[in-house]
A and B are shown apart, each in its own frame.
Chain A
Amino acid sequence: MFRVVCAKWGNLYTEDDVNSLYEKVKRNCSVDFEFECFDNLDDSWEQYKLKHYRASAQPTYRREEIQNGYHRDDFGGIPHYRKITMFEADKKFNSNDTLLYLDLDTNISGDLAYFFEELNNEKPYLVWNYWYEGNDGEEWKRQYHITRCPLFNSSVMVWKPGQNKPIYDFVLKHIDACFFTYPSMDTFMFHQFGPYSYGSRKNHFQYYNQGIVTTQKVLKEYEKPGIIHMLEGLSHEEKKKWLT
């Protein structure tokens, strides 16, 4: 079974956003699929987010700011931790299923069948931010040690049920340290399950080829958007305009 899944919590996104994503998937997927929105994900980790989130007010727009003596990217608290709980919630599916996770603000430009038919599934997939590798990786290498500029992006993930359970288990085992240290799920996974991780956690993921998932951040006028074209870096309102 091919499954397209998304996740919704809080009040930033609505049922309309879920329905809108479903309609887009229906229009852009040439293979049969089941669609499901995880809207009741386990929130028992919320206490760790509240304990370690070092800002007083949650910022809603992507800009540098300082609160309580900390820079924005040092606020900690993994605000989107619920996405990690999907790696445990997937146990209800058949182990032969293939899951394609899409963020609710995903902008689809091509046939999603690629993610179900063209990948080998030996390891789970996520987006590699190829665009940060310019100038010999200057940006991400300079900022690796200060938990910025990860080469991982979890907006589009493909996995088999259970494949990402080690990530969930790792957070559970080091829960206080994880929520204290990381400002985002992407940085956490890049450091702890990426190419520079330690031991068996190293290279947990594989990545879509360049051009399959693109970003509005760096797309030139003459370049073609990928099957999925991400709108990261835009405000919620700007994304809404793009998606309608």
Chain B
Amino acid sequence: MVDVNTHHLHLFKFDYPWFYSNICDQVSASEYEIQKWWADRIDVTGKEVNILNSGFGAYALPFCIEKGAAYTRLIDMDPITKEISLQANEGGSWCHMMMDVTFDYKNIPEADVYINTSCEHSYHMKKVIPNNKLCVLSGCDLTKRGHINLIRSCDDLVEQAGLSKVIDTNKMTFLYEDELGRREYSQYFVKGIK
């Protein structure tokens, strides 16, 4: 059972008050739904998993550990996210790598499975994910600061990554609220082979 560590969340509220809304986004109910989608569909038992643009891996890492992944790499460019990740995550075989997946992909160790559920944050994954690898890609069409690659369909994900085979797709609708108001947005999912 995935456990969001409330003790850590409480500490982060005081240690990183200016980052807390970002942390809350990463442990939101919608984020749980997004991570659970791939966790229910991929057998990671005994496999190495690379979580791209991972944030601090709030749900992704516990899912990997719970489901028996041999090793999980959380890969994210943000220095504060790394600080938080190293404090929040305990146990299991994993590491946090501070790398920009778009530009440093050649230095990412190879894995069996690649997961990126934040495709709206970055350039296309075509070069980042090696050929013949199982992957799950997800992204959304929400207008929000930092979203530089709005995903408007599952086909966007397939085309951007250059997948050779599509195994499963899905679309979910969520609500988000900020200074622009309360609004619906769509989250797209693709499981496939690069």
Contact = CB atoms under 8 A, between A and B. Distances in A.
Nearest to B147: A74
B150 A70 contact: yes
Given A141-B79, A181-B122, A181-B123, A146 B146 contact: yes
B112 interface: no
A73 interface: yes
Interface in A109-152: 135, 138-139, 141-142, 144-148
A138 B21 CA distance: 13
27 contacts: A66-B143, A66-B180, A69-B143, A69-B150, A70-B150, A71-B144, A71-B147, A74-B145, A135-B18, A141-B18, A141-B79, A145-B121, A146-B146, A148-B146, A174-B102, A177-B103, A180-B149, A181-B122, A181-B123, A191-B77, A192-B103, A196-B79, A198-B98, A198-B103, A198-B104, A198-B107, A199-B104
B147 A70 contact: yes
A199 B107 contact: yes
A194 B84 CA distance: 21
B81 interface: yes
Given A142-B18, A181-B122, A199-B107, A191 B100 contact: yes
B164 to A, nearest CB: 21
B81 to A, nearest CB: 7
A138 B80 contact: no
B160 to A, nearest CB: 11
Contacts of A74: 145-148
Contacts of B121: 145
Interface residues of B, number: 30
B102 A70 contact: no
A146 B145 contact: yes
B22 interface: yes
Given A74-B147, A198-B107, A144 B78 contact: yes
Given A76-B148, A141-B18, A198 B143 contact: no
Interface string A31-75: 000000000000000000000001000000000001001110110
B100 A198 contact: yes
Given A181-B102, A191-B100, A142 B123 contact: no
B141 interface: yes
A69 B77 contact: no
B176 interface: no
B99 interface: yes
Interface in A137-178: 138-139, 141-142, 144-148, 174, 176-177
B78 A145 contact: yes
Contacts of A177: 102-103, 123
B95 to A, nearest CB: 15
A141 B19 contact: yes
